[in-house]
Amino acid sequence: MSPSAGGLVVFLLSVQVIQSQDGWRFNYPQTDVCAEKGSEVFIICDITHPPGIRPSDIKDRFWFTKEKDGEPVDLRTDSEYSARVEYGYYSYIKSGYLTITDVRESDSAEYKFTIRTNQPGEKYTGSPGVTLSVTDSGLQVQVRRLNSTWLELTCHSSCVLSDRAEYEWSKNEEIIKTGSSLRVSSGSTDRYSCYLIGSPGQRSPVVYGPQRPSVSASPSAEMLEGDSVTLTCSADANPAANYTWYKEHEDSPRASGQIFTITDFTAEHSGNYYCEAQNEMGRSNSTLLLITSSAHQRSLATPA
């Protein structure tokens, strides 16, 4: 098995599934293959033929997933595949293989190998075939809150990896631990990522709590009575943060979402507004001061 560098390909099952028809036998050594989008997969079928079959007796042999008018469609003639598939044989028809490069989620399907002989209407297909599951990303970090201070990060593969899979973790790009989970304190902006040991290039997206948000008021934080103002809040975080707006000295939020609009401004609206950005990793806030302008007062908008 030689998946190309960078892509995660996991062979889930190695069950001997042998189909036998008139002395023809098809054996797929791997019946379930899980691959990360963009990787290259390699699918094999071992064939045993009845005695006396010569190379010249074989008219055609190919791989397919779909059928059209009851006939299998050769992947090489399917425009979705033609540029990305390659067939090969290890020796005279004993073992056929299929490689698909740059796999897409739409390639998730059952792949079967079929043979046509020179005898009219004589065809043999290895069925069931090989099930390929293509997933968006191989590794993901799941975050679970243990209590107010601690979080547990767990590394997961959408390819439902076997228990034998081993992971390691990085904090701010430095490897710090081996194991499927990691306990970290909540509220920091440290950047964590997990790796699959033995699969170079396999790493999860980096997760981190929100950085301090940037807040702005448009058109201005200096208001005249009756004006409208739009407050915008944005914080770098992964997973993406949600946003809540509070006014100073108030317990319940004024609004949620990145954008908060105040219409018909009155003197009672002036004061400090907090935007709080929050994700599973933690929270962070910034303050914006809205003032009612009287005469020639200047803008006092200041991030906290």
Ligand X SMILES: *[C@@H]1O[C@H](CO)[C@@H](O)[C@H](O)[C@H]1NC(C)=O
Minimum Å distance from CB 179 to ligand X? 16
Closer residue to ligand X (CB): 93 or 206? 206
State which of positions 251-270 bind ligand X (CB under 6 A): 256
Place of tokens 């007062």: 297
The residues that bridge with 103 in the sheet, in sequence order, are none
Contact criterion met (CB below 8 Å) for 15 and 31: yes
Closer residue to ligand X (CB): 91 or 147? 147
Report residue 134 CA to chain centroid gap.
10
String of contacts with ligand X for each residue 109-148, x by CB under 6 A:
-------------------------------------xxx
Find, among 36, 40, 31, 44, the residue nearest to 2 by Cα: 40
Closer residue to ligand X (CB): 22 or 251? 251
Contact criterion met (CB below 8 Å) for 285 and 304: yes
Closer residue to ligand X (CB): 178 or 256? 256
Return the number of other C-beta atoms located less than 10 Å from residue 12's C-beta: 16
Contact criterion met (CB below 8 Å) for 45 and 113: yes
φ, ψ of residue 32 in degrees (nearest 5): -130, 120
Closer residue to ligand X (CB): 59 or 144? 144
State which of positions 150-169 bind ligand X (CB under 6 A): 150
Minimum Å distance from CB 184 to ligand X? 11
User: 75: which DSSP letter?
Assistant: G
State how far the Cα of 45 lies from the Cα of 59, in Å rounded to an integer.
Answer: 18
238 contacts ligand X (rule: CB under 6 A): no
In this chain, which stretch among 20-28, 200-208, 226-234, 272-280 interacts with ligand X, using CB under 6 A?
A: 272-280
Minimum Å distance from CB 189 to ligand X? 11
Contact criterion met (CB below 8 Å) for 264 and 231: no
In this chain, which stretch among 11-19, 172-180, 276-284, 291-299 interacts with ligand X, using CB under 6 A?
A: 276-284
State which of positions 31-60 bind ligand X (CB under 6 A): none
| Residue 275 burial by Cβ neighbours in a 10 Å radius (0-12, 13-18, 19+) | buried
185 contacts ligand X (rule: CB under 6 A): no
Minimum Å distance from CB 183 to ligand X? 7
Reading the block at residue 106, the tokens are 């739409």
Report residue 206 CA to chain centroid gap.
12
Minimum Å distance from CB 236 to ligand X? 15
Closer residue to ligand X (CB): 109 or 255? 255
280 contacts ligand X (rule: CB under 6 A): yes
Minimum Å distance from CB 224 to ligand X? 27
Place of tokens 């954008």: 259
Chain positions contacting ligand X, by CB under 6 A: 146-150, 242, 244, 246, 256, 274, 276, 278-280, 285
